[in-house]
Amino acid sequence: MIRAAHEDDVAEIRSMIGELAAYERSADQARVSAAQLHEALFGEHPAAYALLAEDDRTGAVSGFALWFPRFSTWTGTRGMHLEDLYVRPAARGAGHGKALLAALAAICERHGYERFEWWVLAWNEPTIGFYRSLGVEFLEEWTVCRLSGDPLRRLAAASPAAAETLPAP
């Protein structure tokens, strides 16, 4: 069963984020607090949305998908960015990942989103194989860029004073 996350699911989602980070060999980078996650998902202006997969027999949470809308200047339409998709090891192979992706694809269709995009680690062959089985297109000519920490602060310090008056989301 797939359902939208509720406020009382925050601790479970936070736990799965930690599990995913450990699987991705980056446990030290998953620093989100329950309060931050609650605000991001259920605050006055949500930054993201989450779906949960539950085991049909036990009702236990077996996985989650966390996503947010994006915008394409090329198509002039919104799209979806999937930030995290995770199914707990004991539940893998039971269709939860595919069900989560299908639910997200249905959200895209319902809202007229023309693109549904996410990243996958190059070494994660089991997941890449799963995505290939769904017909996912891999955009190998694109490289993900990230600016954070000191380089982000240095670049921000070079901003003209007028940047302080620009609107923030």
Name the residues annotated as catalytic.
131
Q: Which string of b and e fits 60-85 if b means at least 16 CB within 10 Å? A: ebbbbbbbeeeeeeeeeeebbebbbb
| Listed residue (125, 148, 150) closest to 138, CA to CA | 125
Classified as helix, coil or strand, 66 is strand
Chain-centre distance for alpha carbon 42: 15
Classify strands 77-87 and 2-4 as parallel, antiparallel or unpaired: unpaired
